[in-house]
């Protein structure tokens, strides 16, 4: 027991006497200190005494499209931790190819009596999807928040990164390196984040290179390539853009950017000596790829915490207005971008 007290005290940064008082439910311990001791118990793998176990305030569902893209587990972790700190138990429901649909997962969570649901990159982001499903959910009295993808037809709070600003950051960076033939590789056009990235990219290209309105069609026809949000999708899109003479490629996800690097190397081109590549998300490990990936960092911690805070306000009966909370991304420059090289002889 003495060793256990010492371990907990060291982890929590308090005295063994303080740990003892917390474990025995004695008064005279500040709330923050008590929480530090309880957190130390959790970290070290000790079970909390029954009297100290926090009763769950309820279940909260989190629906994501998949977990192969590292950005979704990262967002799920932030949301899960924020919910747990508030006494809620997160329930992660993930769509898989040929598996449960968003509607089926929603029904499952509602049947289990969740206090609310957070949707990440769901059907609300698809401009071709029927939004009536969300009105039906609202009619059932289930609070929800939507992350990534705004729809004026859905009465709910939305949490989004500024996709237009993300493209401005990427284009401005590449232009400063001397690139003028910049391509954009991204997902299917029907998704709201895709449409916003196209708007931001087109406007930034026009403003940066002083192009006229008549050049917009050329930008969309020559410099924008749609594909899938996968490594293979990025490879295919980048291959098409490289064939059109692009010296730099901006990708709508880090996975696509890794595919773009592969496409360049298949053509005997070096990144960044011959081709610069910019990703989007700043997923785990892209700082350690070869080369380390320049990317636009999605503000995942701020977005995840805002989603939880907004949902808990909805659950508490003080709903946020039907509006969109937009978070500014950040350019992270690493080794996959460099000055535009002279054309090879």
pLDDT at residue 345, as a whole number: 37
Contact (CB, 8 A) for 310 and 325: yes
Give the separation between CA 322 and CA 156, rounded to whole angstroms.
Answer: 5
pLDDT at residue 322, as a whole number: 79
pLDDT string in tens for the chain (345-residue length): 555 888 899 988 999 999 988 888 787 788 788 888 888 887 888 877 766 665 556 899 999 988 888 899 999 999 999 999 888 899 999 987 777 899 999 999 998 889 999 999 999 999 999 999 999 998 888 999 999 999 999 989 999 999 999 999 999 999 999 999 999 999 999 999 999 999 999 999 999 998 887 777 788 889 999 999 999 999 999 999 999 999 999 999 999 999 999 999 999 999 999 999 999 999 988 999 999 999 999 999 999 999 999 999 988 888 777 789 999 999 999 999 999 986 643
- Domains identified in the chain and CATH numbers: 2-52 (1.10.260.40), 58-160+300-328 (3.40.50.2300), 163-298 (3.40.50.2300)
pLDDT at residue 53, as a whole number: 60
* 132 contacts: CB under 8 Å, gap ≥ 6: none
């Amino acid at each position: 027991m003495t060793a256990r007290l010492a371990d907990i005290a060291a982890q929590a940064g308090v005295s063994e006497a303080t740990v003892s008082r917390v474990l025995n439910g004695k008064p005279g311990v500040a709330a923050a200190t008590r929480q530090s001791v309880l957190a130390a118990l959790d970290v070290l793998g000790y079970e909390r005494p029954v009297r100290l176990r926090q009763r769950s305030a309820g279940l909260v569902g989190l629906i994501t499209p998949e977990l192969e893209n590292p950005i979704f587990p990262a967002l799920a972790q932030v949301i899960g931790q924020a919910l747990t700190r508030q006494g809620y138990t997160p329930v992660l429901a993930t769509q898989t190819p040929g598996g449960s649909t968003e509607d089926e997962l929603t029904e499952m969570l509602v049947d289990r009596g969740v206090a609310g649901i957070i949707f990440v990159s769901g059907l609300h982001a698809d401009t071709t999807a029927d939004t009536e499903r969300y009105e039906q959910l609202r009619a059932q009295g289930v609070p929800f928040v939507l992350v990534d993808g705004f729809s004026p037809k859905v009465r709910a709070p939305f949490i989004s990164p500024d996709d237009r600003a993300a493209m401005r950051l990427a284009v401005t960076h590449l232009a400063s390196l001397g690139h003028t033939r910049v391509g954009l590789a991204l997902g299917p056009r029907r998704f709201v984040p895709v449409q916003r990235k196209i708007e931001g990219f087109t406007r930034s290209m026009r403003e940066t290179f002083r192009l006229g309105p008549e050049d917009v069609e050329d930008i969309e026809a020559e410099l924008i390539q749609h594909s899938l949000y996968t490594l293979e999708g990025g490879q295919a899109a980048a291959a098409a853009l490289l064939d059109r003479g692009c010296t730099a490629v901006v990708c709508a996800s880090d996975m696509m950017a890794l595919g773009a690097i592969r496409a360049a190397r298949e053509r005997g081109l070096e990144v960044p000596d011959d081709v610069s590549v910019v990703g989007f998300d700043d997923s785990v490990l892209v700082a350690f790829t070869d080369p380390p990936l320049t990317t636009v960092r999605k503000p995942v911690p701020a977005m995840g915490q805002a989603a939880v805070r907004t949902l808990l306000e909805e659950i508490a009966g003080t709903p946020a207005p039907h509006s969109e909370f937009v978070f500014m991304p950040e350019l992270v420059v690493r080794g996959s971008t460099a000055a535009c090289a002279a054309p090879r002889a």
